[in-house]
Structure 1
Protein backbone atom coordinates (compact mmCIF):
# COMPACT_ATOMS: atom_id res chain seq x y z
CA UNK A 1 0.00 0.00 0.00
CA UNK A 2 2.99 2.29 0.53
CA UNK A 3 3.77 2.10 -3.18
CA UNK A 4 0.35 3.53 -3.97
CA UNK A 5 0.90 6.33 -1.48
CA UNK A 6 4.33 7.03 -2.97
CA UNK A 7 2.95 7.21 -6.50
CA UNK A 8 0.15 9.51 -5.33
CA UNK A 9 2.64 11.84 -3.64
CA UNK A 10 4.90 11.90 -6.71
CA UNK A 11 2.05 12.74 -9.07
CA UNK A 12 0.61 15.30 -6.62
CA UNK A 13 3.97 17.05 -6.44
CA UNK A 14 4.05 17.13 -10.25
CA UNK A 15 0.57 18.65 -10.29
CA UNK A 16 1.63 21.37 -7.85
CA UNK A 17 4.82 22.14 -9.80
CA UNK A 18 3.05 22.41 -13.16
CA UNK A 19 0.28 24.54 -11.64
CA UNK A 20 2.95 26.91 -10.32
CA UNK A 21 4.56 27.00 -13.75
CA UNK A 22 1.21 27.80 -15.39
CA UNK A 23 0.66 30.66 -12.94
CA UNK A 24 3.96 32.25 -13.95
CA UNK A 25 3.31 31.73 -17.67
CA UNK A 26 -0.11 33.37 -17.24
CA UNK A 27 1.47 36.28 -15.40
CA UNK A 28 4.03 36.70 -18.18
CA UNK A 29 1.31 36.73 -20.84
CA UNK A 30 -0.77 39.22 -18.86
CA UNK A 31 2.21 41.58 -18.56
CA UNK A 32 3.55 41.21 -22.11
CA UNK A 33 2.72 44.85 -22.88
CA UNK A 34 3.85 46.27 -19.53
CA UNK A 35 6.86 48.57 -20.00
CA UNK A 36 9.97 47.29 -18.20
CA UNK A 37 8.44 43.90 -17.32
CA UNK A 38 10.89 41.00 -17.20
CA UNK A 39 9.72 37.48 -17.95
CA UNK A 40 9.58 35.15 -14.93
CA UNK A 41 10.90 31.61 -15.16
CA UNK A 42 10.66 28.77 -12.70
CA UNK A 43 12.89 25.73 -12.38
CA UNK A 44 12.17 22.30 -10.97
CA UNK A 45 14.15 20.53 -8.28
CA UNK A 46 14.10 17.04 -6.77
CA UNK A 47 12.89 16.79 -3.21
CA UNK A 48 13.47 13.74 -1.02
CA UNK A 49 10.55 12.41 0.98
CA UNK A 50 10.52 11.99 4.75
CA UNK A 51 11.74 8.40 4.53
CA UNK A 52 14.30 9.39 1.90
CA UNK A 53 13.23 6.72 -0.59
CA UNK A 54 10.73 8.74 -2.64
CA UNK A 55 11.77 11.68 -4.76
CA UNK A 56 9.17 14.27 -5.59
CA UNK A 57 9.41 17.46 -7.60
CA UNK A 58 9.18 21.00 -6.31
CA UNK A 59 9.60 24.37 -7.89
CA UNK A 60 12.77 26.30 -7.31
CA UNK A 61 13.11 30.03 -6.93
CA UNK A 62 11.41 32.26 -9.44
CA UNK A 63 14.01 33.97 -11.62
CA UNK A 64 13.73 36.98 -13.85
CA UNK A 65 14.84 36.61 -17.45
CA UNK A 66 17.82 38.94 -17.87
CA UNK A 67 17.64 39.13 -21.66
CA UNK A 68 17.44 42.59 -23.18
CA UNK A 69 14.16 44.45 -23.04
CA UNK A 70 12.68 45.41 -26.37
CA UNK A 71 13.09 49.06 -27.39
CA UNK A 72 9.82 50.56 -28.52
CA UNK A 73 9.68 53.75 -30.54
CA UNK A 74 6.82 55.99 -29.48
CA UNK A 75 7.80 59.64 -28.99
CA UNK A 76 4.39 60.43 -27.48
CA UNK A 77 4.69 57.84 -24.69
CA UNK A 78 5.26 59.34 -21.22
CA UNK A 79 8.19 56.96 -20.57
CA UNK A 80 9.97 57.76 -23.86
CA UNK A 81 13.46 59.19 -23.66
CA UNK A 82 14.85 62.00 -25.80
CA UNK A 83 15.18 59.63 -28.80
CA UNK A 84 11.52 58.60 -28.52
CA UNK A 85 12.25 55.06 -27.25
CA UNK A 86 11.22 53.30 -24.06
CA UNK A 87 11.85 49.83 -22.62
CA UNK A 88 9.15 47.28 -23.40
CA UNK A 89 9.06 43.77 -21.96
CA UNK A 90 11.13 40.72 -22.87
CA UNK A 91 8.09 38.42 -23.06
CA UNK A 92 7.80 36.43 -26.28
CA UNK A 93 4.21 35.24 -26.63
CA UNK A 94 5.17 32.29 -28.85
CA UNK A 95 7.50 30.96 -26.14
CA UNK A 96 4.90 31.55 -23.43
CA UNK A 97 2.21 29.69 -25.37
CA UNK A 98 4.60 26.78 -25.98
CA UNK A 99 5.48 26.72 -22.25
CA UNK A 100 1.78 26.80 -21.35
CA UNK A 101 1.03 23.84 -23.63
CA UNK A 102 3.95 21.86 -22.23
CA UNK A 103 2.86 22.60 -18.66
CA UNK A 104 -0.73 21.67 -19.49
CA UNK A 105 0.30 18.34 -21.00
CA UNK A 106 2.57 17.56 -18.06
CA UNK A 107 -0.25 18.47 -15.67
CA UNK A 108 -2.64 16.14 -17.52
CA UNK A 109 -0.08 13.31 -17.46
CA UNK A 110 0.37 13.70 -13.70
CA UNK A 111 -3.39 13.82 -13.25
CA UNK A 112 -3.80 10.56 -15.18
CA UNK A 113 -1.05 8.95 -13.11
CA UNK A 114 -2.75 10.12 -9.91
CA UNK A 115 -6.13 8.79 -11.07
CA UNK A 116 -4.62 5.48 -12.15
CA UNK A 117 -2.95 4.96 -8.76
CA UNK A 118 -6.18 5.89 -6.98
CA UNK A 119 -8.16 3.40 -9.07
CA UNK A 120 -5.61 0.65 -8.47
CA UNK A 121 -5.65 1.21 -4.71
CA UNK A 122 -9.47 1.22 -4.70
CA UNK A 123 -9.48 -2.06 -6.66
CA UNK A 124 -7.00 -3.59 -4.25
CA UNK A 125 -9.08 -2.58 -1.25
CA UNK A 126 -12.17 -4.04 -2.93
CA UNK A 127 -10.34 -7.33 -3.50
CA UNK A 128 -9.17 -7.43 0.11
CA UNK A 129 -12.73 -6.93 1.38
CA UNK A 130 -13.94 -10.09 -0.35
Structure 2
Protein backbone atom coordinates (compact mmCIF):
# COMPACT_ATOMS: atom_id res chain seq x y z
CA UNK A 1 0.00 0.00 0.00
CA UNK A 2 1.27 3.49 -0.76
CA UNK A 3 2.27 5.86 2.00
CA UNK A 4 -0.73 8.06 1.24
CA UNK A 5 -3.09 5.10 1.33
CA UNK A 6 -1.58 3.92 4.59
CA UNK A 7 -1.92 7.39 6.13
CA UNK A 8 -5.54 7.60 5.00
CA UNK A 9 -6.35 4.19 6.48
CA UNK A 10 -4.72 5.08 9.80
CA UNK A 11 -6.62 8.37 10.09
CA UNK A 12 -9.89 6.76 9.05
CA UNK A 13 -9.47 4.08 11.73
CA UNK A 14 -8.92 6.90 14.24
CA UNK A 15 -12.09 8.59 13.03
CA UNK A 16 -14.09 5.38 13.45
CA UNK A 17 -12.65 4.81 16.92
CA UNK A 18 -13.45 8.33 18.15
CA UNK A 19 -16.94 8.14 16.64
CA UNK A 20 -17.56 4.94 18.61
CA UNK A 21 -16.27 6.62 21.75
CA UNK A 22 -18.58 9.61 21.21
CA UNK A 23 -21.53 7.27 20.64
CA UNK A 24 -20.96 5.56 24.00
CA UNK A 25 -20.42 8.85 25.82
CA UNK A 26 -23.72 10.13 24.42
CA UNK A 27 -25.47 6.93 25.55
CA UNK A 28 -24.04 7.45 29.03
CA UNK A 29 -25.25 11.04 29.14
CA UNK A 30 -28.70 10.08 27.88
CA UNK A 31 -29.03 7.40 30.58
CA UNK A 32 -27.54 9.37 33.47
CA UNK A 33 -30.89 9.42 35.26
CA UNK A 34 -31.84 5.81 34.50
CA UNK A 35 -31.91 3.76 37.72
CA UNK A 36 -29.32 0.97 37.73
CA UNK A 37 -27.63 2.09 34.51
CA UNK A 38 -23.91 1.30 34.34
CA UNK A 39 -21.55 3.58 32.46
CA UNK A 40 -20.16 2.11 29.21
CA UNK A 41 -16.50 2.52 28.31
CA UNK A 42 -14.39 1.56 25.32
CA UNK A 43 -10.66 1.51 24.87
CA UNK A 44 -8.49 1.53 21.79
CA UNK A 45 -5.95 -1.06 20.83
CA UNK A 46 -3.51 -1.43 17.97
CA UNK A 47 -5.01 -3.39 15.11
CA UNK A 48 -2.62 -6.33 14.87
CA UNK A 49 -4.06 -7.53 11.55
CA UNK A 50 -2.85 -4.49 9.58
CA UNK A 51 0.41 -3.61 11.38
CA UNK A 52 0.44 -0.08 9.98
CA UNK A 53 -0.71 1.91 12.99
CA UNK A 54 -4.46 1.49 12.69
CA UNK A 55 -6.52 1.31 15.86
CA UNK A 56 -9.61 -0.66 16.69
CA UNK A 57 -12.16 -0.31 19.44
CA UNK A 58 -12.24 -2.94 22.15
CA UNK A 59 -15.58 -4.48 23.10
CA UNK A 60 -17.78 -2.31 25.31
CA UNK A 61 -17.08 -2.70 29.00
CA UNK A 62 -19.33 -1.68 31.85
CA UNK A 63 -17.96 0.49 34.62
CA UNK A 64 -18.19 -1.65 37.75
CA UNK A 65 -18.27 1.24 40.21
CA UNK A 66 -21.38 1.34 42.30
CA UNK A 67 -24.11 3.84 41.52
CA UNK A 68 -25.39 6.27 44.05
CA UNK A 69 -28.06 5.19 46.50
CA UNK A 70 -31.13 7.37 46.22
CA UNK A 71 -33.71 7.64 48.97
CA UNK A 72 -37.22 7.76 47.54
CA UNK A 73 -39.70 5.40 49.22
CA UNK A 74 -42.34 6.15 46.55
CA UNK A 75 -40.12 4.94 43.68
CA UNK A 76 -41.21 1.54 42.26
CA UNK A 77 -37.64 0.20 42.47
CA UNK A 78 -37.15 1.21 46.11
CA UNK A 79 -36.30 -1.52 48.57
CA UNK A 80 -37.76 -1.92 52.07
CA UNK A 81 -35.59 0.90 53.43
CA UNK A 82 -36.77 3.27 50.66
CA UNK A 83 -33.49 3.29 48.68
CA UNK A 84 -32.83 2.37 45.08
CA UNK A 85 -29.64 2.28 43.05
CA UNK A 86 -29.12 5.14 40.63
CA UNK A 87 -26.69 5.19 37.71
CA UNK A 88 -22.93 5.47 38.09
CA UNK A 89 -22.61 8.15 35.38
CA UNK A 90 -20.68 11.25 36.41
CA UNK A 91 -21.64 14.09 34.06
CA UNK A 92 -18.33 15.94 34.56
CA UNK A 93 -16.37 12.89 33.42
CA UNK A 94 -18.71 12.32 30.47
CA UNK A 95 -18.46 15.92 29.29
CA UNK A 96 -14.66 15.80 29.57
CA UNK A 97 -14.58 12.51 27.64
CA UNK A 98 -16.87 13.95 24.97
CA UNK A 99 -14.66 17.01 24.56
CA UNK A 100 -11.51 14.87 24.33
CA UNK A 101 -13.10 12.54 21.77
CA UNK A 102 -14.33 15.51 19.74
CA UNK A 103 -10.88 17.09 19.66
CA UNK A 104 -9.26 13.79 18.71
CA UNK A 105 -11.85 13.32 15.97
CA UNK A 106 -11.13 16.81 14.63
CA UNK A 107 -7.36 16.14 14.67
CA UNK A 108 -7.84 12.90 12.72
CA UNK A 109 -10.10 14.69 10.26
CA UNK A 110 -7.49 17.40 9.75
CA UNK A 111 -4.80 14.77 9.10
CA UNK A 112 -7.10 13.00 6.64
CA UNK A 113 -7.68 16.28 4.78
CA UNK A 114 -3.96 17.14 4.77
CA UNK A 115 -3.07 13.72 3.36
CA UNK A 116 -5.74 14.05 0.68
CA UNK A 117 -4.44 17.50 -0.31
CA UNK A 118 -0.85 16.25 -0.45
CA UNK A 119 -1.91 13.35 -2.66
CA UNK A 120 -3.80 15.69 -5.00
CA UNK A 121 -0.83 18.06 -5.19
CA UNK A 122 1.50 15.18 -6.02
CA UNK A 123 -0.82 13.99 -8.80
CA UNK A 124 -0.89 17.51 -10.26
CA UNK A 125 2.92 17.68 -10.20
CA UNK A 126 3.21 14.30 -11.92
CA UNK A 127 0.83 15.39 -14.70
CA UNK A 128 3.09 18.33 -15.65
TM-score interval w.r.t. the shorter chain? over 0.9
Describe the shift of the 1:118–1:59 C-alpha distance in structure 2 as closer, same or farther (beyond 3 A).
same
TM-score by length of 1: 0.95
Q: Indicate the residue corresponding to 1:67 in structure 2.
A: 65
Q: How does 1:108-119 map to 2 (within 5 A)?
A: 108-119=106-117
Q: Indicate the residue corresponding to 1:34 in structure 2.
A: 34
Residues 99-119 of structure 1: CA deviation (Å, up to 9, x unaligned): 000000000000000000000
Q: Mind listing any 5+ residue stretches in structure 2 that lack a counterpart? A: none
Higher share in strand: 1
Out of 55, 58, 73, the residue aligned to residue 57 of structure 1 is 55
CA distance in 1, matches of 2:66, 2:30: 19
Q: Indicate the residue corresponding to 1:9 in structure 2.
A: 9
Cα contact 1:10–1:56 (8 A) shared by 2: yes
Cα contact 1:44–1:57 (8 A) shared by 2: yes
Q: How does 1:51-130 map to 2 (within 5 A)?
A: 52=51, 54-130=52-128
CA distance in 2, matches of 1:55, 1:86: 45
Residues 60-82 of structure 1: CA deviation (Å, up to 9, x unaligned): 01000000111001111111111
Q: Mind listing any 5+ residue stretches in structure 1 that lack a counterpart? A: none
Question: Number of residues paired by the alignment?
Answer: 128
Instruction: Show structure 1 runs of 4+ deviating over 3 A.
Output: none
